[in-house]
Amino acid sequence: MTSARSPTYSLQEIIERFGGEIAGDASVRVRCVGTLENAGPETIAFLANERYLRQLQTTRAAAVIVGRSAREGATAPRIVCDNPYVYFARVSALLNPPRSARPGIDPAAAAHPQARIDRSAEIGAYAVIACGAEVGPRTIVGPGTSLGENVRIGADCVLHAGVTVCSGCSVGDRVVVHPGVVIGADGFGIAFDEERWVKVPQIGRVRIGNDVEIGANTTIDRGAIDDTVIEEGVKLDNQIQIAHNVRIGAHTAIAACTGIAGSVHIGRFCRIGGGVGIAGHVTIADHVEISGQTAITKSIDSPGVYSGVYPFEANRDWRRNAAQLRRLSELAKRVAALEARIAELTRDRPPHD
Amino acid sequence: MTSARSPTYSLQEIIERFGGEIAGDASVRVRCVGTLENAGPETIAFLANERYLRQLQTTRAAAVIVGRSAREGATAPRIVCDNPYVYFARVSALLNPPRSARPGIDPAAAAHPQARIDRSAEIGAYAVIACGAEVGPRTIVGPGTSLGENVRIGADCVLHAGVTVCSGCSVGDRVVVHPGVVIGADGFGIAFDEERWVKVPQIGRVRIGNDVEIGANTTIDRGAIDDTVIEEGVKLDNQIQIAHNVRIGAHTAIAACTGIAGSVHIGRFCRIGGGVGIAGHVTIADHVEISGQTAITKSIDSPGVYSGVYPFEANRDWRRNAAQLRRLSELAKRVAALEARIAELTRDRPPHD
Amino acid sequence: MTSARSPTYSLQEIIERFGGEIAGDASVRVRCVGTLENAGPETIAFLANERYLRQLQTTRAAAVIVGRSAREGATAPRIVCDNPYVYFARVSALLNPPRSARPGIDPAAAAHPQARIDRSAEIGAYAVIACGAEVGPRTIVGPGTSLGENVRIGADCVLHAGVTVCSGCSVGDRVVVHPGVVIGADGFGIAFDEERWVKVPQIGRVRIGNDVEIGANTTIDRGAIDDTVIEEGVKLDNQIQIAHNVRIGAHTAIAACTGIAGSVHIGRFCRIGGGVGIAGHVTIADHVEISGQTAITKSIDSPGVYSGVYPFEANRDWRRNAAQLRRLSELAKRVAALEARIAELTRDRPPHD
């Protein structure tokens, strides 16, 4: 992806920006990033996981980024730092800068005369910007993206193609929204009355803080009455569902396919695996980690790691064990009965030793 | 969201429309709805769940809607009724009426000359209405929404932005379809032949009844041969997957992220939680309730509540217990052996009492 | 769906194309396909599952396709073959041919002057074809579909409405992509640094082989550094999530709502059920079958069927058993203690027989 004319940086120039120290030739220049396994010339790679240590010996990378413990594991010129993955992220952003907005509104976009679009913003073809909507400086609105009435998008955002933001919702600065995301559709508010469902109007909004990223085809529903809130620095993967009136605390990261039911409050700095389900009205403390595929059915008050995954097996073994799972309560009773019977039998006989 | 000029209603006017009785000042006027916790002046709130009873004392709402048992729990003027949540839904709809269609076809929409679009319908920018498609009176078709050939959309529907309805599918009256929904894509019909998959043409359609609501990014596949059918009054949350030839009975509600495999038949008035999976060809009776995250692997013949969720725990406890789950069948055998051994040991010794 | 003027074929003409033998009148002509249950005149149906055998007696189909064992089960004229479902797929494709591309670029499409679009390709209204993108012969690009810079789409593909293919990704020949699919959004690459997440640029691409089909609203992320790869003949159902750097082997089929985390490698000819979750960095051998709803948390080295689904029950029974699940490790210890105690008690007493 990096074209031949992208600039190069010496290791010396890199540590002047990002810190760390150099082992080996500080004048080596790099142009692009790569994996240890597939790196070519002019490439800088990294080692973040000790299990790839052996690849340090064989990599053709021009330079590598390593932690202090792997300092002597490589012969290539290397940058030694505390957190090689974070360091790599910064170097890669230097070598692969995001493209800037190309200021202007595509002639094939439909911007309402009462929309307020910053001059430095880029509005793509077939985008729709409704009455009262606001787009901040240097923000990119991709092709076919639709912003409803009175939507507010901050500065330096990227809304990719085919995003929908419904009326009244707001998005902070430096937010990245991937294709197919829907922000602010109605929450699932229905009341059952005499054999049919009555819709409860969903009149809250969605408010999204700064530095949030939202993965492809994720949906975030507007609040029923009060708002749904995604705090700053939250990172959401693809195909996540966030129901009405959820609040997600700052800097929490959630992996793909997780579903969060209505009125759930999640703390700050949580890490939630993929395919997790969280039941309605649950509250989760700060710094909670949840394993992928776990169903959270009640609140979690303390930091820590929580799990609840059925262990998979060869189908034959699973059938055998799962059948017994349906009799587990009975089995526990049988064990208690055995214990009572043994106690009775041995009432007069103390254990041998 | 409610602008300052929206109309107000007195409690007296409200009960004349919707029934119930008033405790306190019947002339109090309300303009908008709110939660007990965040209500301001001119706001009407409701209490549907006894656990928020304490908020009745502290709310700043001008009036509240309560059930008969909470009649004396508040000092604010209140409407007393049988089902406060349903009552609130009706009041909220009165105070927050949905916007009407703005009749006409946006100049930047592509409507085929042989499409039949009612004059009172609204067609948004960049919508595509293919040959033979039909849009009923007062229906709103959002920006970027695409209706395939011979699609039929009834009256008073709202199809939000970025919806796709594929050729031949039909949608009843008063149906709401949220952004990103795909109706009528091909079902997953493939046959395995000599080391490769052969596609089975999907020639059925999707038929959707009146008063259905479909959440954002939900997908409903067309039938393989016969049709996929969603009966009247069904309510579907976001990111639900409905495979080919499914039939969902009237007034069933399904929460987000549920996946329903091919040829499943679900009864009427069912309530299905979020993240449920239902295996192919399963039949589910009327009035069945399924807990969130449950995997339904066989048919359910009787009404009732069904569940199957792995209980989550602190990771350390889960590891310990899950390891034993793989030995559960063996454990059951060991208990049976113990029982036999004890019976043998005590053949001549009756229990003490 | 089949119009009255579609052509008819005699059974004789059909077996000349696809093999098999005829029992009964070979001159019978059929025009369309149907189910045994709902077939009308001029219809050919099939029996692939013995449990519908009884319907063979009552069907009004003009002809049926059956396996050798069901040869004598019907009175209607029939084609007898080895694999009736595959045979049916071929006959249905003959009677329901996919529509051809209508060559040309819709005037309401935005094709960059430096895009290379084959003359025989069809580009729908409001489609966006960016600089350097390439669309092959006879390929159909649906309305509102967006192809990023330097995307390459092969020959004879169908990209339905509202598909997004991000920059640099490539798609082979004869690939079908259903509405709402997102190919090449950023993977979920973030590194945690001093209380906030740092984005890791996602600079790999997605490469999709020939004869792949991708279901509605499925997402396939671009690689972090190297590419995400979907090999030839892979069939993906709706709402599947494929994370960065996944590789899926040729002719593997995956049912809806499955989530595959980063760097997973899946073998060839696998069959993966709906709602499956596969944890990051897992490797799965060729010819592995995984039951729906199973969480795969570690690599699978051998072909076979693997499962891990919590068996559902009436809620009351589930509550009782699930409570014991949390005490399973303790229960196993109690059984071991009982065994030790019994052994001790019977040290001098051999079993009766």
Cβ neighbours of residue B87 closer than 8 Å, sequence gap 6 or more: B18, B20, B46, B65, B79, B81
Per-residue pLDDT at B84 exceeds 50: yes
Q: Of B314-323, C46-55, C268-277, where does mean pLDDT reach its minimum?
A: C46-55
Binary contact (A160, C164; C-beta < 8 A): yes
How many Å lie between the alpha carbon of C29 and the closest alpha carbon of chain A?
A: 45
Q: What is the DSSP string of A43-67?
A: EEEE--SGGGTTHHHH---SEEEEE
- Averaged pLDDT, B239-257: 98
> Region C277-297: what's the mean pLDDT?
98
Amino acid at B246: V
> In the structure, what pLDDT confidence band is assigned to residue B1 with cuts at 50, 70 and 90?
very low
pLDDT confidence of A351, banded at 50, 70, 90?
Answer: low
CB-based contact, A4 to chain C, within 8 Å: no
Contacts of A33 in chain C (CB under 8 A): 201, 203, 225
Mean pLDDT of C218-237: 98
DSSP annotation of C73 reads G
CA distance B267 to B282: 11
Which of C283, C222, C206, B293 minimizes the C-alpha distance to A258?
A: B293
Q: Which residues pair with B80 in a beta bridge?
A: B21, B66
Cβ-nearest to B328 among A185, A324, A338? A324
* pLDDT on residue B95: 97
pLDDT of res. C351: 54
Q: Is the pLDDT of residue A154 over 90?
A: yes
Q: What share of chain B is helix, strand, coil (3-state, %, to 5)?
A: 20, 30, 55
Contacts of B308 in chain C (CB under 8 A): 309-313, 318
pLDDT above 90: percentage of residues in chain A: 89
Q: Do the Cβ atoms of A245 and A187 come closer than 8 Å?
A: yes
Q: Which helix (H) or strand (E) holds A332?
A: helix A328-345
What single string gives the DSSP state of each residue in A208-277?
Answer: E-TT-EE-TT-EEPPPSSS-EEE-TT-EE-TT-EE-TT-EE-TT-EE-TT-EE-TT-EE-TT-EE-TT-E
Give backbone dihedrals phi and psi of C246, rounded to 5 degrees, phi first: -70, 150
**Comparing A138 with C3, which gets the higher pLDDT?**
A138
Inspect the interface and report whether the beta carbons of B191 and C33 lie closer than 8 Å.
no
**What is residue B161's predicted lDDT score, i.e. its pLDDT?**
98
In angstroms, how far apart are the furthest CA atoms of chain B? Answer: 96
Per-residue confidence at B349, pLDDT binned at 50, 70, 90? low
> For A106-127, what is the mean pLDDT?
98
Reduce the DSSP state of residue C57 to 3 states and report it.
Answer: helix
Q: Can you say whether the dihedral through the CA atoms of C310, C311, C312, C316 is positive or negative?
A: negative
* Residue in C164, C193, C280, C168 with CA at minimum distance from that of residue A93: C193
The answer, for C349 touching chain A at a CB cutoff of 8 Å, is no
Smallest CA–CA separation between A83 and chain B, in Å? 26
CB C123 within 8 A of CB C111: yes
Q: In the predicted model, is pLDDT for residue B19 greater than 60? A: yes
Residues 6+ apart with CB under 8 A from C343: none
pLDDT (0 to 100) of residue B353: 46
Residue C353 has pLDDT above 80, yes or no: no
Q: Which residues of A touch C126 (CB under 8 A)?
A: 125-126, 144
pLDDT score of C73: 81
Q: How far apart are CA B3 and CA B8, in angstroms?
A: 12
C346: nearest Cα among B264, B303, B345: B345
Closest by CA to B235, choosing from B263, B267, B271, B259, is B271
Helices C315-325, C328-345: inter-axial angle, 10-degree rounding:
70
Average pLDDT, chain A: 95
Residues of chain A neighbouring C309 (CB-CB closer than 8 A): 310, 318, 322
- Measure the CA–CA gap between B163 and B146, rounded to whole angstroms: 6
| Neighbours, chain C (3 or more CB pairs < 8 A) | A, B
* C-alpha pair distances (Å), B185 with each of B230, B243, B340, C161: 15, 10, 59, 10
A188 in contact with chain B, both atoms CB, cutoff 8 A: yes
ipTM above 0.85, yes or no: yes
> Which tens digits make up the pLDDT trace of C99-127?
999 999 999 999 999 999 999 999 999 99
Contact B292 A306 (CB under 8 A): no
Using CA coordinates, name the residue in chain B closest to C336. Answer: B334
pLDDT band at residue A2 under the 50/70/90 scheme: very low
Question: Do the Cβ atoms of B276 and B293 come closer than 8 Å?
Answer: yes
- B126 part of contact set with chain C, CB < 8 Å: yes
Provide, as residue numbers in chain B, all residues whose Cβ is less than 8 Å from the Cβ of C319. Answer: 307
Whether the CB-CB separation of A25 and A6 falls below 8 Å is answered with no
Cα distance between residue B278 and residue B294, in whole Å = 8
Report the alpha-carbon distance of residue B169 to residue B206 in Å, rounded: 5
Instruction: Tell me which chain A residues have a C-beta less than 8 angstroms from the C-beta of C166.
Output: 160, 179
Q: Does A259 lie at the interface with C, CB-CB under 8 angstroms?
A: no
What does the pLDDT average to over A116-132? Answer: 98
- Return the higher-pLDDT residue of A242 and B72: A242
Q: Tell me what percent of the residues of chain B surpass a pLDDT of 70.
A: 97
B positions 147-176 inside 8 Å of A (CB) = 160-162, 176
Question: Which residues, including other chains, have CB under 8 Å from residue A235's CB and lie 6 or more apart?
Answer: A212, A213, A252, A253, A254, C188, C190, C197
* Tokens (6 digits) for B87: 């009552």
Mean pLDDT of A20-33: 96
A142-146, B225-229, B346-350, C318-322: least confidently modelled range: B346-350
The nearest alpha carbon in chain A to B97 belongs to A201
Residue type, B32: C
The mean pLDDT of C10-25, rounded to a whole number, is 97
State whether residue A82 sits within 8 Å of chain C by CB.
no
B211 touches C at CB < 8 Å: no
What is the dihedral sign for C-alpha B20, B24, B29, B32? negative
- pLDDT over 50 at C277, yes or no: yes
The reported pTM is 0.96
Percent helix, percent strand, percent coil in chain A, to nearest 5: 20, 30, 55
- Give percent of chain A above pLDDT 70: 97
For residue C6, what pLDDT is reported?
Answer: 86
Token match 């064989």: residue? A58
Whether chain B has a CB inside 8 Å of the CB on C268: the answer is no
* Active-site annotation of B, residues: 244
Contact C96 B296 (CB under 8 A): no
Out of A112, A160, A244, A287, which one is annotated catalytic?
A244
Q: How far lies A248's CA from each of A212, A217, A229, A285, A323, in Å?
A: 11, 18, 6, 11, 39
- Rounded CA-CA distance B321/C33 in Å is 52
Mean pLDDT score, B57-74? 91
Do B255 and A277 lie within an 8 Å CB cutoff?
A: no
Residue C92 pLDDT grade (very low, low, confident, very high; cuts 50, 70, 90): very high
CB proximity A190 to C under 8 Å: no
Instruction: Report CB contact under 8 Å: A292, C261.
Output: yes
Q: DSSP letter at B111? A: E
**pLDDT of amino acid A348:** 58
Residue contact A259–B274, C-beta within 8 A? yes
At A353, is the pLDDT very low, low, confident or very high (cuts 50, 70, 90)?
A: very low
- What 8-state DSSP symbol labels residue A149? T
Tell me what the mean pLDDT of segment C232-250 comes to.
Answer: 98
**Burial track C249-267 (b if 16+ CB lie within 10 A, e otherwise):** bbbbbbbbbbbbbbbbbbb
Q: Which residue of A has its CA nearest to B84?
A: A191
